[in-house]
Chain A
């Protein structure tokens, strides 16, 4: 009886699994169609000299598009900018996000309200947020230069690092709530009795945070970091609105946009896109292999 039951369950499991695959097949197909096909097409384009404005010229050119991208100082300058913005903004977001998560976790009254309120910046369309920051820091229209200790005619977008600073502030303002919520999700899974026990043993709040909360939250922190890093690396809207890439503030995405959309140079532009894709893969690889992020089991105790 027990044996028969076991075989029966196994059959059922198998058929359920088959059903599962059948159910998700359309989604997998759609994903392949909208992601794998364009990526493959971009790869093919990146090996050609192809310019919409010169339809009679072109052909297969091997890796020469990659060569011109990788030997260009512009590409490396943009990689630096993108990395700089990514690292600085994600670091600030992690710190602020953690504080936000702790505040939300400890909030005694109006918990729902607090959690909804912090999400508002994240809900604002990036372009709109970028415009508000742009106008706020613009010497003609903005209020920032009216603040004490800031020169009235400070041209924030007239210089590289002050421009990048505003871009980073806008990014931090907009995505810290997202970081905060991801961290909060990790925070609530920690068993409170551990903290209680440590308290009884005489651990200070600081010690409890570093010895208990952070290690137990590590999977959640890494997932949050991975998401935000990949997101930040593709930064486009904020820079496009605020400087348009002037003062050497271009990101790699804007570089790709300039080659593809402005110059209609599909070969060169595709090479840039493929290289951005490779960068993203490298970042994901470092996180997954180097830090051991487990996407599916990003919860302690599982």
Chain B
């Protein structure tokens, strides 16, 4: 298998060297990021290259669309100390891993100040590791509760209300979520555990998972997965299956990222007319909702030959103007709070820019640990499929979860 992987890597190389270089001159900085379909990143890169007065030109090396596949390509290159990467578009969950492995450079002094000025605390937290900033917040993302206003009068504030409301609606009352055996399921679980009033880790290797709140979160998850409000394909549901089912009209609620809004406008105008956004539900009414946080932070590769220029380029890329471009073209929420006061943002998120802002403000980043992949696998292993969680006996599931999470942060054994 090792041999096969090596061969695969060699064969795959020519496929990912196609670069899309912006017009300009000076040092070429290669920017590894997924191919954002609206072209918002390219526009920002072209603008920054032009404004650099010939100091640098940013060229793109596109990564796959799936976050797992992006990371896989990056860690292979970074593990081999590949100096052809200058700027990395990093998912919020990679910060600790890349920082600990020495793959990315820390941000210091005025540079760190410049790129975090005005950014949401939750986002800055996701870009930091052990008290140091390792990436510049670029575009954020968060999940909202999307609902059908023709079927639901006021959006539910808690999971229990949402499940009850969905059952009242009947066959079309389904709640679409992401509960396949993948990262999206960890996103769901983390949001629920945080909203119940505890957290998965209190330090990079220290498990928290207070018993009572964790069991409450598991109880709600199990109740939901076993209720008729859960879609039949819940165990294999992803962002896309949720979006497609909602667009087909058979669901009344959906927890998903804002990309579903322009998508519905395009694919399902009838559903789009009735589509409304609200804050992600809380576990209990007396505790705040802690919506999921996604997004891209920009890091400088530790193996780059042009680190100073890369820092400069990133400082330009994350400027509020470029964040507005990303929001209006690609629907990617800005990381800078002040941007939400501008008029342009209302164009990107008609009627729900406030909800997005509130959601990112309240968002709970996923645990920050270098062993994040292990942790995420451990959560999926112990809680998937959610329908197997017995709401009447969550203690067994709780024990299994704690055991697996302990194993993950210690990186022991198979996962």
Binding site for B on A (CB under 8 A): 34-35, 38-39, 41-42, 51-55, 68-69, 71-72, 74-75, 138-141, 153-155, 157-158, 234, 243-247, 253, 255-256, 258-265, 268, 270, 272-273, 276-277
Does B97 make an interface contact (CB < 8 A)?
yes
A selection of 8 A-B contacts at a CB cut-off of 8 Å is: A34-B3, A75-B414, A155-B234, A157-B233, A157-B236, A158-B233, A158-B236, A243-B236
Asked if A263 and B415 sit within 8 Å, CB to CB, the answer is yes
Count how many chain B residues have C-beta atoms less than 8 Å from C-beta atoms of the other chain: 40
User: What A residues does B384 contact at CB under 8 A?
Assistant: 246-247
Closest residue to B370 on the A side, CB-wise? A53
Asked if A140 and B245 sit within 8 Å, CB to CB, the answer is yes
Q: Nearest Cβ in chain B — how far from A242, in angstroms?
A: 9
User: What B residues does A34 contact at CB under 8 A?
Assistant: 3, 7
Known A53-B100, A158-B235, A244-B181: A42·B2 in contact at CB below 8 Å: yes
Asked if B180 and A244 sit within 8 Å, CB to CB, the answer is yes
Asked if B241 and A140 sit within 8 Å, CB to CB, the answer is yes
Asked if A55 and B101 sit within 8 Å, CB to CB, the answer is yes
Distance, CA A210 to CA B415, complexed state (A): 48
Known A39-B2, A264-B79: A53·B371 in contact at CB below 8 Å: yes
Asked if B1 and A256 sit within 8 Å, CB to CB, the answer is yes
Does B5 make an interface contact (CB < 8 A)?
yes
User: What B residues does A276 contact at CB under 8 A?
Assistant: 1
Asked if A68 and B100 sit within 8 Å, CB to CB, the answer is no
Distance, CA A83 to CA B2, complexed state (A): 21
Distance, CA A276 to CA B248, complexed state (A): 44
Closest residue to B97 on the A side, CB-wise? A53
Closest residue to B380 on the A side, CB-wise? A246
Asked if B374 and A263 sit within 8 Å, CB to CB, the answer is yes
Q: Nearest Cβ in chain B — how far from A235, in angstroms?
A: 12
Within residues 242 to 297 of chain B, which ones have a CB less than 8 A from any CB in chain A? 244-245, 248
Asked if B233 and A155 sit within 8 Å, CB to CB, the answer is yes
User: What B residues does A41 contact at CB under 8 A?
Assistant: 2
Does B232 make an interface contact (CB < 8 A)?
yes
Distance, CA A270 to CA B236, complexed state (A): 30
Known A153-B232, A261-B72, A264-B75: A273·B414 in contact at CB below 8 Å: no
CB-contact partner of B235 in A53, A75, A157, under 8 A: A157
Distance, CA A178 to CA B6, complexed state (A): 27
Does B168 make an interface contact (CB < 8 A)?
no
CB-contact partner of A246 in B371, B385, B411, B414, under 8 A: B385
Distance, CA A42 to CA B2, complexed state (A): 7
Closest residue to B72 on the A side, CB-wise? A261
Distance, CA A286 to CA B279, complexed state (A): 61
CB-contact partner of B2 in A51, A55, A273, under 8 A: A273
Interface flags for B6-46 (1: CB within 8 Å of A; 0: not) read: 11000000000000000000000000000000000000000
Interface of B is mostly: helix
Within residues 195 to 250 of chain B, which ones have a CB less than 8 A from any CB in chain A? 232-236, 241, 244-245, 248
Q: Nearest Cβ in chain B — how far from A179, in angstroms?
A: 23
User: What B residues does A246 contact at CB under 8 A?
Assistant: 180-181, 235-236, 380, 384-385
Asked if B414 and A272 sit within 8 Å, CB to CB, the answer is yes
Asked if A258 and B377 sit within 8 Å, CB to CB, the answer is yes
User: What B residues does A51 contact at CB under 8 A?
Assistant: 411
The listed residue with most B CB atoms (<10 A of its CB), out of A34, A262, A273, is A262
Does B182 make an interface contact (CB < 8 A)?
yes
User: What A residues does B1 contact at CB under 8 A?
Assistant: 234, 253, 256, 260, 273, 276-277
Asked if B233 and A265 sit within 8 Å, CB to CB, the answer is no
User: What A residues does B370 contact at CB under 8 A?
Assistant: 53-54
Distance, CA A54 to CA B103, complexed state (A): 11
User: What B residues does A55 contact at CB under 8 A?
Assistant: 101-102
Asked if B413 and A72 sit within 8 Å, CB to CB, the answer is yes
Closest residue to A35 on the B side, CB-wise? B3
User: What A residues does B412 contact at CB under 8 A?
Assistant: 68
Closest 5 CB pairs of A and B: A246-B181, A38-B3, A153-B232, A72-B414, A158-B235
User: What B residues does A256 contact at CB under 8 A?
Assistant: 1
Asked if B182 and A244 sit within 8 Å, CB to CB, the answer is yes
Q: Nearest Cβ in chain A — how far from B85, in angstroms?
A: 15
Closest residue to B102 on the A side, CB-wise? A55
Distance, CA A277 to CA B373, complexed state (A): 26
Distance, CA A255 to CA B182, complexed state (A): 14
Within residues 64 to 100 of chain B, which ones have a CB less than 8 A from any CB in chain A? 68, 72, 75, 79, 97, 100
Assuming A155-B235, A158-B234, A273-B2, what are 12 further A-B pairs, CB within 8 angstroms?
A34-B7, A41-B2, A52-B75, A69-B414, A75-B414, A140-B245, A155-B234, A243-B181, A243-B236, A258-B377, A263-B377, A273-B1
Distance, CA A155 to CA B79, complexed state (A): 39
Known A39-B3, A258-B377: A268·B235 in contact at CB below 8 Å: no
Interface flags for B353-384 (1: CB within 8 Å of A; 0: not) read: 00000000000000000110110010010001
